[in-house]
Structure 1
Amino acid sequence: MARETATTRWPKIVQNMIDDVEATFEQSDIPEQIEEGRRIQATLRIMKSEIMQDKPLQCVTFQTLATFLEMADVDPMSLSPLSSDGRPDIQSYNAQLAAFGKITWQNCPWLFAECYLYRCVQTLFARSRFWRNYDIFARQKLSAFLASHAAVEELSERYVSLADAGAFAKTDDEAQRLIFCEMTEIALWGNATDLSLLSSLSLDQIQSLQGKEAIHEGQARIVSNDMPEAWDYLRSRRGGRVDIVLDNAGFELFTDLVYALYLLDSDLASSIKLHVKSMPWFVSDVMPHDMDVLLSALADTTLFPGARHRSVRALTERLSDCYKTGLVSIAEHPFWTTGFDFQAMPAMAPELHKDLLGSSLVIFKGDLNYRKLVRDANWPHTLPFKEAIGPLRGEKDGEGLKILALRTNKADVCVGLSPDTLERVEDEAPGKAWVRNGKYAVISFSDGDYL
């Protein structure tokens, strides 16, 4: 899967960048911006070619920097692999490259090389004049969200109806547990706009046997499911700050905001901190401006007309109020876009690690965050999640991060399965399909204790 990603997917991603830059400068009437855009395009074409030709990672920036700055008379070998664009992470990228030695695009640590690709691209824009704050993926992110308007309407109606019925505060413990299960699954499967994946339960159904059966059926595709432990933990720790390390913008961000709202409305959290990326990252990851784009789109009556818009509007007003009052806040940190896995956080970003230790729960969304939690290592699938996260669990009880990872499986690394479950899914989806096709998932929890 790693080789297929490098040989097929990465060149397509870079080609999409090339096309996006052209679509943007074709709408410009500023000659300098157009010329600068053409140089960026030329550089991206070189990057695409070097990936396809399996060139060393170091070479891509030697050549692209010379092209971009028109420094043909400069000896490329006099340049460092990544030249500074003002951000503090360049030195660590170069140090990692030096430590790896001679690696090429198709013979390298998969996770690092993919991070390096996006970081290389960012240097092109950050060192420019007219494109410095350009989000190369903004057009794709907005288009994907607009295509999911029906799912946004449906989820808004479901959430508002539950809130109006007092489901988050006035139901018994068992009903609250079932609501937690469904809301967590909505956040889990949030990168799929097909809500038929979910149980679509009303309050009456949740309180009936039918509701229990529907939720149980939906959980069959969750191959490692620590949701009961997460529920028991959160119920006993009501009222603390919950952090969410976000994944994708668009509809997934919408589901994450709905989940944040649920945690507040059910008193499972007193505040929510959303962690976003500070540069365009892995195509669709959330940046700060994506929040404003989403809220503006939700408030647009031309996008959400008719009776269903009342639910969208009510939900949007509640989200906007939480955002304005600080109940929901946004945080950036450069560590999220480094080439390090998250187990390096205590050493490489101690202030971030200390802040997250003060959180009641840190929810990591998506495939990339999961891979970084477990070092993208080739663990046995039956290894316990708490062992795979290494130093993040702390050296003594109570010293580790309280972690809830919600991840649909889109890469080979996956831990926490029982032997029986592993045997079942390998029969159902052979050839590693169950860890690659996004139709299976994990809900992994660690309570911060060493063992």
Structure 2
Amino acid sequence: MPDSAAAPVILGTTGPFPHGVLAERHPAIIRRVRDAFPYGPAQHRALDTLLHDCTEGTIGPLPGADRWRGWGLDRHLGQSWFDVPWLWSESYFYRRLLDAVGYFAPGPWQGIDPFRPFKLAELDGKETDEELAALDALGDDPDRALLHGSLWGNRADLGFRLSAESGEAVSALVADDSAGLWPLLRGGTLCLVADNAGRELVPDLLLIAHLLDSGRVADAVLHLKPYPSYVSDATTADLLDALRRLTAAPGAAARYGRTLWSALSDGRLAVRAHPFSCAPLPYAEAPGDLRAEWAAADLTLFKGDLNYRRLVGDRLWPPTTPFAEVTDWFPGPVAALRTLKSDVVTGLSPDTVAALDAAEGQRWRTAGTHALIQVNPSPSASA
């Protein structure tokens, strides 16, 4: 790993973007969740308390969440939400939100995903119909089309319909190591660490189905969240909703859906929901059983912005810091598909950074308009 002293951990006070998430986005999410279900007075009181605490209060206990004590809760008790690592306070917010709506407590609201209405509205929308219909005309390069569909997730204008000649796709990619990704898929195992549900999970599943059908991988392991951490993170229930959507669609989408259904049934596609997937910590602190699974794979592919932050460390790295250096700890070949939605970024050329800063200031890091494909085929830890 490079010298982390030169790259401070991002806090809630580190610039306008993380501060805005804590001060503005989280209260807005509380209000949306409150209106999405006919919660009773107890949930309303708990949500009101959370609304106060997340902007004006301090970090408090999490009853019944003993695992969080090992994840830094005792160390942060009594601190302002803005003065602890941003990754930690974000994760703590969503854990508190689930507590507030009764997700973990015995009772009628136990296990009810507070984000489910938003996920289903997106999954069942007409934009998804259009994206699935585009699968019938992928052309001669399905590898690239499906990889880019997974990369761009819910940006319909930059999904499966990207052609090899798309100038917009080329200019929007700030780093592209895709040429080094395909040789790592040698008919063995792929681990894919999913990001969001809905229209982002669907293209991830399509990519897996294509890799299984084409023989590029013999089996795959899909890592999901054990509970709905963050506002749209994919859980096993979201996987089932996505499979329903695919198998009910016409054309190629249904064929991919049947491939996935069959692969789940015969074990070629396995699902994991490891507790550490919801930890407020970087993946470098992952437990041994999770590291062992990554080490056994031909490639582990991390999807999305949050997973990228956890993979490289949620720090203000100089953007020219090599991706290979910040992932040198990883136990096997690793890749990231990520649309940029936060300040952390690595692996860019000096010319790319200079051009982006000159054209957009810092906005290119957080607006979701740029993306990267980065690969480290041989981290030192895997030797």
Q: Is TM more than 0.5 here?
A: yes
Aligned match of 2:255 in 314, 322, 329?
314
The percent identity for this pair of structures is: 28
SS in 2 for 1:241: strand
SS in 2 for 1:45: helix
Letter in 2 for 1:420: D
SS in 2 for 1:280: coil
Aligned match of 2:196 in 241, 248, 256?
248
Residue in 2 aligned with 1:18?
34
Displacement of 1:179: 4.3
Work out which of the two has the higher radius of gyration on C-alpha atoms and give 1 or 2.
Answer: 1
Displacement of 1:435: 0.6
Residue in 2 aligned with 1:373?
311
Letter in 2 for 1:368: L
- The structure whose residues are more often helix, as a share, is 1
Residue in 1 aligned with 2:23?
7
Displacement of 1:128: 3.3
Displacement of 1:233: 3.0
Residue in 1 aligned with 2:103?
125
Aligned match of 2:365 in 412, 435, 446?
435
TM-score scaled to structure 2, two decimals? 0.88
**Structure 2: gaps of 5 or more residues:** 1-16
Kindly report the root-mean-square deviation, in angstroms, between the aligned alpha carbons of the 2 structures: 2.1
Residue in 1 aligned with 2:340?
409
Residue in 1 aligned with 2:357?
426
Residue in 2 aligned with 1:90?
68
Residue in 2 aligned with 1:61?
none
**Structure 1: gaps of 5 or more residues:** 26-36, 59-80, 168-177, 202-210, 393-399
Query: Partners of 2:73 and 2:379 in 1: how far apart?
Result: 34
**Equivalences for residues 42-441 of structure 1 within 5 A:** 42-52=45-55, 54-58=56-60, 81-84=61-64, 89-93=67-71, 96-100=72-76, 102-123=78-99, 124-147=102-125, 148-159=127-138, 179-195=142-158, 200-201=162-163, 211=164, 214=165, 218-234=169-185, 238-300=186-248, 309-345=250-286, 349-392=287-330, 400-430=331-361, 432-441=362-371
Letter in 1 for 2:359: E
Tell me the number of residue pairs that the alignment of Structure 1 and Structure 2 aligns. Answer: 362
Distance 1:128 1:193, change over 3 A: farther
SS in 2 for 1:125: coil
Structure 1 contact 243–356 (Cα < 8 Å) conserved? yes
Displacement of 1:338: 1.1
Structure 2 contact 135–253 (Cα < 8 Å) conserved? yes
Distance 1:233 1:295, change over 3 A: closer
Displacement of 1:259: 0.5
Residue in 2 aligned with 1:73?
none
Structure 1 contact 413–435 (Cα < 8 Å) conserved? yes
RCO (CA 8 Å, sep 6+): is it higher in 1 or 2? 2
TM-score scaled to structure 1, two decimals? 0.76
Residue in 1 aligned with 2:11?
none
SS in 1 for 2:272: strand
Query: Partners of 1:321 and 1:98 in 2: how far apart?
Result: 45
Query: Partners of 2:377 and 2:255 in 1: how far apart?
Result: 35
Structure 1 contact 191–248 (Cα < 8 Å) conserved? no
